[in-house]
Amino acid sequence: MAALSHNFDKNFALVVGAGISGATIAERLASAGRRVLVVDSKPHIGGNCHDYRDNNGICVHSYGTHIFHTNDKAVWDYLSAFTKWHPYMHKVLANIDGAEVPIPFNLNSLNQLFPRSLASRIEKRLLGKFGFGVRTTILELRESDDNLLKQLGEFVYEKVFLHYTLKQWGMKPEELDPAVTARVPIFVSRDNRYFRDKYQAIPRAGYSAMIGKMLGHENIEVRLNTPFSAIRNDIPAETPIFFSGSIDEFFDYELGELPYRSVSFEFAEYDREFFQSVACVNYPCNYDFTRIGEYKHFLGDKSPKTVVSFEFPSAFERGKNERCYPISSPENATLYARYLAKAEQDTPNVHFHGRLGDYRYYDMDKAVGRALALADEFLSQK
Ligand code: UDP
């Protein structure tokens, strides 16, 4: 690797990671007049949001389905400067006992799966206890003192959450941080959408194009296939560094390894127009994969063929697969906090952020919101 021939003056900043977090920081700093070098070990920008148009003209997400949704107008407005949007409301079905029912589990799912008279009794109880349009969680429903609702809770727990969560996390739902399964509520309504956010859309030219535009600022240089370790010794000690990789890796695992879940994607092309009726079908109880994503649904791509991905979760293993999900637990939070304290002490010029850097299960909008706040904070100090 050639040594860096940079002018490392006070105006220079290094951004490690060209994903949606790194691109946001880089763009904000560049627009404020900083010179920014962005490095990424991958051969492409976009991190795990990367997508590409395949030879059928279908926009495929390289690391599984990514659906942008937010209630944060500032984030929506910010990204809208770099992309036009294709309005898209995500719908997910789960294959339960051979029937495909809406997820989050709602009154429509109930009526599809239960005999009519039982479904209507349960529906009345749900409306009586929670009211129409109200969301609850699987954990809350299972603890209900109403026997019928408790039975529904047990059914949804077994058919929707238990086996999916065992595949996805290697743990039972009750062993996980409750916030994880609460991402997918039980919804006392007939709204079949996965998200209820005000803004829901897919970048019209794809995520890579949007992130490429963010990184296209004249003050930004991007170097791909460049791990931080390859340039670390060339960077003067006081250089501001924005690091969206994993904090344990930054410190060479000195205090131990932060665990993650990984996912491997098996892509398949089919010689038919559609594989399934919606972009995502979950298989909680069958197979070793958790879900199948079909990409042409997102942007309405037209092709006689279709491309899908099967998601196989596993533990993250260094050098073997990608870090996809931090695992929220008190022990992991403690280890992360020890690394952060070390960073504050030893490397105050390094700012950790992003799903890996903060070790938080961020959605894309939260990652962008966090990077915008970090950029503001940094620029206001100088
Ligand atoms: N989940 C589940 N069954 C489902 C969908 C979700 O058990 O059909 C649980 C599972 O533990 C999953 C979590 O809810 O990891 C969050 O789901 P989400 O769809 O938000 O996961 P992501 O899209 O971020 O992988």
What is the three-class DSSP state of 304? coil
pLDDT at 5: 61
Dihedral, CA atoms, 212, 214, 220, 224, nearest 10 degrees?
-30
Backbone angles phi, psi at 96, to 5 degrees: -120, 120
The encoded tokens of residue 189 equal 């309504």
Band (pLDDT 50/70/90 cuts) for residue 8 is confident
Band (pLDDT 50/70/90 cuts) for residue 368 is very high
Among 65, 66, 159, 161, the mutation site with the greatest number of ligand 1 atoms within 8 A of its Cβ is: 161
382, pLDDT greater than 90:
no
The encoded tokens of residue 289 equal 């994969």
99 CA to middle of ligand 1, Å?
19
| The residue count for the chain | 382
180 CA to middle of ligand 1, Å?
7
The encoded tokens of residue 233 equal 């010794």
65 CA to middle of ligand 1, Å?
13
**Run of H or E residues at 381:** helix 364-381
> Residue range 227-246: average pLDDT?
96
pLDDT at 151: 96
178, pLDDT greater than 70:
yes
Residue nearest ligand 1's atom 6 by CA: 184
121, pLDDT greater than 70:
yes
164, pLDDT greater than 80:
yes
- Give the residues surrounding ligand 1 with Cβ less than 6 Å away: 94, 103, 160-161, 164-165, 168-169, 180-181, 183-184, 282, 284
pLDDT at 59: 98
Q: What is the pLDDT of residues 49-107, one digit of tens each?
A: 999 999 999 999 999 999 999 999 999 999 999 999 999 999 999 999 999 999 999 99
- CB-based contacts of 5: which residues, under 8 Å, 6+ apart? none
238 CA to middle of ligand 1, Å?
41
Number of C-beta neighbours around residue 28 at 10 A: 22
pLDDT at 3: 54
Q: What is the DSSP string of 257-294?
A: PPPEEEEEEEEEEESSS-SSSSSEEE-SSSSS-SEEEE
> Residue range 116-135: average pLDDT?
96
> Residue range 352-379: average pLDDT?
98
Band (pLDDT 50/70/90 cuts) for residue 4 is low
Q: What is the pTM of this model?
A: 0.96
Band (pLDDT 50/70/90 cuts) for residue 24 is very high
Q: Which has the higher per-residue pLDDT, 314 or 4?
A: 314
Band (pLDDT 50/70/90 cuts) for residue 9 is confident
> Residue range 343-359: average pLDDT?
98
Band (pLDDT 50/70/90 cuts) for residue 156 is very high
CA distance 10 to 100: 58
Q: Using an 8 Å Cβ cutoff, are 46 and 19 in contact?
A: yes
Q: Using an 8 Å Cβ cutoff, are 308 and 267 in contact?
A: yes
Tell which residue, 372, 296, 228, 377, has the closest CA to residue 53. 296
365, pLDDT greater than 90:
yes
Q: Which atom of ligand 1 is nearest to the CA of 94?
A: 8
- Strand 51-53, strand 280-282: pairing: unpaired
Residue nearest ligand 1's atom 2 by CA: 161
Q: Tell me 177's DSSP state.
A: -
The fraction of the chain above a pLDDT of 90, given in percent, is 96
pLDDT, mean over the chain: 96
168 CA to middle of ligand 1, Å?
8
211, pLDDT greater than 80:
yes
2, pLDDT greater than 70:
no
CA distance 17 to 46: 9
CA distance 285 to 278: 19
> Residue range 205-220: average pLDDT?
98
Q: Which atom of ligand 1 is nearest to the CA of 282?
A: 8
The encoded tokens of residue 173 equal 């739902």
188, pLDDT greater than 70:
yes
pLDDT at 10: 85
